[in-house]
Amino acid sequence: MPAEERLSVPNIDADLDAAPPAAVLWDMDGTLVDSEKVWTVSLHETAAWLGGELSVAAREDMIGSNMSRTLTIMFDDLGLPHDPDRMAGAERFMNERTERLFAQGLEWRPGALEALRMVRAAGWRNALVTNTERFLTEMALDGIGREHFAVTVCGDEVEHPKPAADPYLRAAALLGVDAAECLAVEDSPTGSLAAQRAGAAVLVVPCDIPVPAGPGRVLRESLVGLTPTDIRQAYRLVTGERAA
Query: For helices 36-49 and 67-77, what crossing angle results, to 10°?
Result: 50
The DSSP bridge partners found for residue 217 are: 202
3-class DSSP state of 219: strand
- Biggest distance spanned by C-alpha atoms of the chain: 59
Residue 92 class from Cβ within 10 Å (0-12 exposed, 13-18 middle, 19+ buried)?
Answer: exposed
pLDDT tens digit string along 84-140?
999 999 999 999 999 999 999 899 999 999 999 999 999 999 999 999 999 999 999
Per-residue pLDDT, 240: 85
Q: Are 196 and 217 in contact (CB under 8 A)?
A: yes
Residues of the chain predicted below pLDDT 70? 1-18, 244
Residue 44 burial (CB count, 10 A): 14
The backbone region for 176, taken as left when phi is positive above 0, alpha when psi lies in -120 to 50, beta otherwise, is: left
Q: Which residues are registered as beta bridge partners of 185?
A: 26, 203
Quote the CA–CA distance of 117 and 157 in Å, as a whole number.
26
State whether residue 112 is helix, strand or coil.
helix
Q: State the pLDDT at residue 17.
A: 53
Say how far apart CA 178 and CA 76 lie, in whole Å.
38
d(CA 171, CA 175): 6
Q: What is the pLDDT of residue 241?
A: 79
Question: Omega of the bond prior to 189 within 30 degrees of 0, cis?
Answer: no
How far apart, in whole angstroms, are the C-alpha atoms of residue 182 and residue 186? 13
Q: Which of 134, 155, 42 is nearest to 96 (CA)?
A: 42
